[in-house]
Amino acid sequence: MNPLLIPALIMALLTVIVWYFSRAENRTRNLILLAAVGAFITTAAACTPGPTQIIQEITTIVSGLIPIAAAVGSALFPAESAAIEAGAGIAVAGLQELEKIVAEYQSTPTDTNFQKALDAFTVVQKHIADLETAAQVKDPAVRARITAVITGAQQSLALLESSIAARHAGKAANYNAQQGGA
């Protein structure tokens, strides 16, 4: 289904409502304002990133921990720095694999590919949790930054996973309805 279809239908309905309920002298102004809002909504819908783009952004953010750990930590706390670099490397590799699996699911949304995606999310979440365990930095400011990045990545992945699961459930319901109605 085209992601712009729903905003277009909503805008068409709103246009009819505004035209019908507006006074004649305000109709043009109201329709111009509605057109501006419609352009914004349509642009926002068209620019909404897909799951693979979101995973790429998370990967970029998590991989940013590697140079931070190297720059800040190597002189002050080399053992912690090495642990963060290793943990971030594992998390980044997992995120890159997750991106491939989610792309495969998007192109072929089967139950098998869906389960692969769920399993990959679980593995990546574990890698990121391991990274947080490895990031036992003594400097509270550096630790707070690392924790913020890790927490943001975990929350983003959890939201993305639930979004994909909800979308898959909707597809399964539609498929079952079509099979029952046939």
- What CATH number did the domain enclosing 92 receive? 1.20.120
pLDDT of residue 123: 93
- Spell out the alpha helix ranges (H) of 1-50: 5-21, 24-47
On whether both 21 and 90 belong to a single domain, the answer is no
pLDDT in tens, the chain (182 residues): 455 555 556 666 666 665 565 666 666 666 666 666 666 555 555 555 678 887 888 888 777 776 766 665 555 567 777 777 888 888 889 999 999 999 999 888 888 999 999 999 999 999 988 888 877 777 777 777 777 778 888 888 888 888 888 888 887 677 666 766 55
Residue range(s) defining the domain that contains residue 25: 5-47
Kindly tell me the sign of the dihedral angle through the C-alpha atoms of 124, 125, 128, 129: negative
Q: What is the DSSP letter of 138?
A: S
On whether both 68 and 81 belong to a single domain, the answer is yes
pLDDT of residue 104: 92
Domain count, the chain: 2
On whether both 34 and 55 belong to a single domain, the answer is no
Q: Which residues contact 32 (CB under 8 A, 6 or more apart)?
A: none
- Spell out the alpha helix ranges (H) of the chain: 5-21, 24-47, 51-63, 65-68, 74-76, 78-107, 111-134, 140-181
Give dist(CA 166, CA 160) in Å, integer. 10
pLDDT of residue 1: 47
Q: State the burial class of residue 61 (Cβ atoms within 10 Å of its Cβ: 0-12, 13-18, 19+).
A: middle
On whether both 55 and 43 belong to a single domain, the answer is no
On whether both 99 and 43 belong to a single domain, the answer is no
Contact (Cβ atoms closer than 8 angstroms) between residue 11 and residue 38: yes
Angle in degrees, CA 134, 59, 92, rounded to 5: 50
